[in-house]
Structure 1
Amino acid sequence: MKKLVLIGLLLGGAASAKDLVQVKLQLKWFPQAQFAGFFVAKEKGYFEAEGLDVQFLPIGDQSPIQTVVTGTADFGTTWITDLLTARQNGLPVVHIAQIFQKSGFTLVALKSSGINKPADFKGKRIGVWPSGNEYPAVALLKKYKMTSSLDSSVARPDVQAVTYPFDPSIVFPDKVDLVSAMTYNEVDQIVGLGYSMDKIRVFKASDYGINLLEDLMFSSERVLNNPNFKNSGMSGKEIAAKLVKASLKGWDYAVKNQKEAVSIVLPLCGNTCKGSGTRADARAHQTWQMAEVAKLYNAGPTLKGNAGLLDAKTYASNVKLLRDLGILKSAPPASAVDYSIWEMATGKKAK
């Protein structure tokens, strides 16, 4: 990280470090290609060109919501479910840009298990993640009218959920029949455990209408409503727009120059570069990851020239799904999403 900051200060020339506004961006997970666009924006000087000195705060397997709400971070990345449940609980977080336009959540089974379609999940054990990350699996089960042991009110659930801490090698395939896996991470880790793609069946939640959006950018009402962010002379919304503008430029470059983006990520991800049980070296895993996150970025509004825009219909369907699951008790307030930040960043009107 220190190397990245140094490079960032050397780029751009004109502005000195003391002229830049310090911004702390909390990432949802450890440094990896999942966040390549942000790292590229730093490396290429896109943040500095906007007058920002952006510091990344990797948080591991915790939610970034708390660090943003408490002021440890100014902005963060998280999933739509995390954001909306936090908002329901009274935490004043605000969606400002949607990076991934398609869900990368999957459930993976061995082909030899005989699980060929969602209806076959009944009676099986499914590995899920904690802290709200289980919701896509729950949604998929509910769509096929199945209950799980995650619901304590159900005496005889159709599916037994096994919570595990993000490393599929801990439970798959001995302790579960299906395991949660992101297309860009755990799927490749499963391949690395010796189960090649021709031996596994990958059920992508989005293929079954469960497209709960993931990596987004957010902040707090406190930050956005600040008329003089860190004595910069600019409002929190102006800073947010600059951050989003540079981030989207970084993502666009990363997706179009994936090999270079991976080379930028590798010095930053340390022991997490390779993942657990991956099939080859760190570069191979991050190359896989970059290719897969590019697919999640290059979908929906991005394909129409509106990268970073939260599609209103997709958002509405996400809210409906979460309400149907009982995760949201009511529709979130309009203030949970601030489209003006994206409009300021892009010079376009949200449609």
Structure 2
Amino acid sequence: MKNKIKFLLITLGFVFLLASCGSKEIVVEKNDKGLAKVAIQIDGAATPYYAPLYLAKEKGWFEEEGLDVEFYYASASEIVKNVAANNVEFGFPNSDPVVMGRSNNVPVKIIHTTYQEGLGSIIYKNESGISEPKDLKGKTIGITSYGSPNFIQLQVILEQAGLSLDDVSIKIIGTGAIVNALVSDQVDAISFSMLRVYDLEEQGISVGEFRSENYMPTQGNVVITSDQLLKEHPELCQKFTQALNRSIAYLVDNHLDEGIENAITHYAPAAKGNEEKIKKVMENEFLPKLWQSDNTVKNGFGYSDVDRYNDYIALLYKYNLIENKYDAEELVVNLDEGGKK
């Protein structure tokens, strides 16, 4: 059962994709202003944490690069499939299914490692008696789906603790209900986003966590495109990442409040009233750790560390989470001003 679950993640969703990807030349349409019409499919739903993308559009920075950008939303695995099939020009998924998909020759490239660290975390109540990963043995752990990045990360953390999926009970819970499942003791722990720790602490619930970043060299959300689009239209990729980098730089330069307000006003109105909590999260996590790292200081925002990706690929292969080990240079691209490697 364990192996069936693991390899189902990698293979099932990509059968149609690999059969449907053709070599017909990509034609990029233009709007009435002469701007190239491109779409990006974003992981999950609209949230203020996607402020750099939203600000780049509202400030006109995408337009200045000659792009008319539309936003759509889907799960990470769906995004990988749609980008590879050239249904959308760009995607913004968590990196895990991208790394795993490439091991099965899914034709996508990471052109911008936007989040320099992973977002995944196994979260538990401190009263549960859990204090280290081996304590998860015999526990019920909530995940959103077998295809979620957090399920991949859970398996690696279990393996490093000498455990496997056979040592725990997995419960599938919808994104909107998974945090409450922990609160109401329907599960002993959840494998989800570390950002939810802030929500739980705000409710006065004492929780602990095993952050994926402390157990594996993961990356969070990344900008991806298809091999074909990068080859035929590298300038579009460069223009997109340039506008995104300009937006991140603006936010880092003491304009976080503006970014949050813009995101809530135009894209995520349900977050209104939570500005202070969102700002706290972004000041603690996004500014110092996700958008910035030693690598971005040296090489610029969105830099992809090939060695770090190779270490993660090796780890997935070691624990049989991917069937084929490969060189990260097949997956990640750091673009120069011409849109090339």
User: By the TM > 0.5 criterion, same fold?
Assistant: yes
Match of 1:298 in 2: 292
Provide the secondary structure at the position in 1 that maps to 2:282: helix
Match of 2:57 in 1: 42
One-letter identity of the residue aligned with 2:91 = G
* TM-score normalized by the length of structure 2: 0.81
Provide the secondary structure at the position in 2 that maps to 1:162: strand
Match of 2:171 in 1: 162
Match of 1:110 in 2: 125
In structure 2, how many angstroms separate the alpha carbons of the residues matched to 1:223 and 1:346? 11
**Residues 187, 96 of structure 1: CA spacing in aligned structure 2 closer, same or farther, 3 A cutoff?**
same
One-letter identity of the residue aligned with 1:343 = D
- The alpha carbon displacement at 1:215 in A equals 0.6
**Structure 1 unaligned regions, length at least 5:** 1-15, 149-156, 227-235, 275-280
- The alpha carbon displacement at 1:121 in A equals 1.8
- The alpha carbon displacement at 1:323 in A equals 0.8
- The alpha carbon displacement at 1:70 in A equals 3.0
One-letter identity of the residue aligned with 2:335 = W
Match of 1:80 in 2: 95
- The alpha carbon displacement at 1:271 in A equals 6.0
Render the CA deviation track for 1:249-295: whole Å, top value 9, x for unaligned: 11122233211110111023446537xxxxxx332443244333333
Match of 1:211 in 2: 217
One-letter identity of the residue aligned with 1:191 = E
Match of 2:234 in 1: 237
- The alpha carbon displacement at 1:166 in A equals 2.1
- Count of aligned positions: 304
Q: How does 1:1-351 map to 2 (within 5 A)?
A: 18-59=33-74, 63-130=78-145, 131-133=147-149, 134-148=151-165, 157-167=166-176, 168-173=178-183, 174-184=185-195, 186-192=196-202, 194-196=203-205, 199-207=206-214, 209-226=215-232, 236-256=233-253, 257-270=255-268, 272-273=270-271, 281-291=273-283, 292-294=285-287, 295-332=289-326, 336-339=330-333, 342-344=335-337
One-letter identity of the residue aligned with 1:311 = D
**Residues 29, 285 of structure 1: CA spacing in aligned structure 2 closer, same or farther, 3 A cutoff?**
farther
**Structure 2 unaligned regions, length at least 5:** 1-30
One-letter identity of the residue aligned with 1:144 = A
**Residues 49, 55 of structure 1: CA spacing in aligned structure 2 closer, same or farther, 3 A cutoff?**
same
Render the CA deviation track for 1:47-72: whole Å, top value 9, x for unaligned: 12211111111226763112223333
In structure 2, how many angstroms separate the alpha carbons of the residues matched to 1:114 and 1:313? 37
In structure 1, how many angstroms separate the alpha carbons of the residues matched to 2:323 and 2:181? 33
In structure 2, how many angstroms separate the alpha carbons of the residues matched to 1:159 and 1:204? 18
Render the CA deviation track for 1:312-331: whole Å, top value 9, x for unaligned: 22111111111122122122
Runs of 4+ residues deviating >3 angstroms:
268-272, 332-336
In structure 2, how many angstroms separate the alpha carbons of the residues matched to 1:288 and 1:164? 27
Q: Could you tell which deviates more after superposition, 308-317 or 76-85?
A: 76-85
In structure 2, how many angstroms separate the alpha carbons of the residues matched to 1:333 and 1:40? 34
- Alpha-carbon contact 2:89-2:229 (below 8 Å) kept: yes
**Residues 335, 119 of structure 1: CA spacing in aligned structure 2 closer, same or farther, 3 A cutoff?**
closer
In structure 2, how many angstroms separate the alpha carbons of the residues matched to 1:328 and 1:251? 33
One-letter identity of the residue aligned with 2:310 = A
* TM-score normalized by the length of structure 1: 0.79
The two structures, once aligned, show a CA RMSD in angstroms of 2.5
In structure 2, how many angstroms separate the alpha carbons of the residues matched to 1:44 and 1:189? 30
In structure 1, how many angstroms separate the alpha carbons of the residues matched to 2:314 and 2:48? 31
One-letter identity of the residue aligned with 1:188 = Y
In structure 2, how many angstroms separate the alpha carbons of the residues matched to 1:325 and 1:222? 31
- Alpha-carbon contact 2:248-2:301 (below 8 Å) kept: no
Provide the secondary structure at the position in 2 that maps to 1:91: coil
In structure 1, how many angstroms separate the alpha carbons of the residues matched to 2:102 and 2:339? 26
One-letter identity of the residue aligned with 2:231 = N
- The alpha carbon displacement at 1:170 in A equals 4.2
**Residues 95, 270 of structure 1: CA spacing in aligned structure 2 closer, same or farther, 3 A cutoff?**
closer
In structure 1, how many angstroms separate the alpha carbons of the residues matched to 2:269 and 2:154? 28
Provide the secondary structure at the position in 2 that maps to 1:18: coil
- The alpha carbon displacement at 1:94 in A equals 1.3
